[in-house]
Amino acid sequence: MSVTYNIHPAFAVDDASLLETDLTTCQLLVLIGRGIFSYVVYEPASKRFVALKSYTFLSQKSGAVADLEMIEQVFDADKLLFTSFRAVYLAFDGGDSTLVPEKHYNASLKKDYLQLIYPEKTQEVILADILPDQHLVNIYGVDKDLLGYLRKEFSTDNTLHVNSALLKSYTFDNGFRDINGVAFIDIQQHKFTLTVYKLGQLLSQQEILCQTGLDVVYHLVNALRQTGLDEQYAKVKVGGAVTADSQIYKELHRFIPKLEWMERLPGFGYIPKMQEIPGYYFNNLYALALCV
């Protein structure tokens, strides 16, 4: 038996321009993660974001079953999702994923690449994002029922992994080619994605579970040292669901001298209410526009 939840967005951002915009010319960029369902309405002709909503869930259940149950209720409550958008893109955050050099990629071996690292899951569909500008392929697993439901409701086959969008977005950062290296930390509920570069070359990307700020510091310092970088000199840029008064940020500030916030993705238009939210907060959601 399904449970009824009181569904309200944690963030709902729009203004009068939404009513004045022809939404059939817009794209809906949807981000699905563990306990999270967010989307932004993007007008590609003007490269402008005109609306954003983000739902967060708490459930007694766990895994994709809980996410699917709650997303079904978001559809019942949010009528904007039934608009005839020009296109809909589904991005997934979390789950098993791995990066493979494009020159070594064989599409028929997608499952094998992933299962070299992670155990096989019976309810999993294996997908891949080809990133020619990065010379990489991002291979990842998505729950079969969740993917099927979203594809049916949105009538779309456009899928990607959020880390593919993050990799594209980091190349726009002014510290991307830092000689001492730069680490980007995208913080979400109980996990973070850590991406490390030196002189514009990707050294590592990994998704790590965490409970405390010290967890984040430990894994960050360990990853920097394993890639030959020094946490006292490398630049560390923080984004995602975190604030300056959070325990995670305070612990990072204690141990990392060159700590900065990620900036809002340049080259796009944002309605005034979006500009009132710190630019780093929805950097992963805005980054999806680089993949459409």
End-to-end C-alpha distance for the chain, whole angstroms? 38
Q: Which of 58-72, 149-163, 242-256, 265-279 has the lowest mean pLDDT?
A: 58-72
In order of 95, 190, 212, 255, the CA distances from 220 in angstroms are 20, 15, 13, 10
Query: Domain range spanning residue 222?
Result: 174-261
In order of 167, 168, 176, 284, the CA distances from 135 in angstroms are 11, 12, 17, 21
- 214 plus 279 within the same structural domain: no
- 140 plus 182 within the same structural domain: no
Rounded to whole angstroms, how far apart are CA atoms 118 and 111?
Answer: 10
pLDDT tens-digit readout, 196-251: 999 999 999 999 999 999 999 999 999 999 999 999 999 999 999 899 999 999 99
- 201 plus 269 within the same structural domain: no
- 109 plus 225 within the same structural domain: no
- 137 plus 281 within the same structural domain: yes
Mean pLDDT across 157-167: 97
- 90 plus 198 within the same structural domain: no
- Domain with 181 in it: what CATH number? 3.30.420.260
**DSSP, residue by residue, 146-211:** HHHHHHHHHT---EEEHHHHHHHHHTTSTTTT-TT-EEEEEEETTEEEEEEEETTEEEEEEEEE-S
- 253 plus 269 within the same structural domain: no
Helix (H, G, I), strand (E, B) or coil at 143: strand
Instruction: Identify whether the C-beta of residue 41 lies closer than 8 Å to the C-beta of residue 273.
Output: no
- Domain with 91 in it: what CATH number? 3.30.420.250
- 106 plus 236 within the same structural domain: no
- 188 plus 72 within the same structural domain: no
Name the domain count of the chain: 2
What's the helix, strand, coil split of the chain in %, to 5?
Answer: 35, 30, 35
pLDDT tens-digit readout, 93-133: 988 999 999 999 999 999 999 999 999 888 999 999 999 99
Mean pLDDT across 251-262: 96
pLDDT given for residue 107 in this prediction:
96
- 167 plus 209 within the same structural domain: no
List the one residue out of 249, 237, 74, 97 whose CA is nearest residue 162.
97
- 119 plus 244 within the same structural domain: no
Sheet with 136-143, side-by-side order of all strands: 97-101, 136-143, 124-131
Q: Is the pTM of this model over 0.85?
A: yes
- 99 plus 128 within the same structural domain: yes
pLDDT given for residue 187 in this prediction:
95
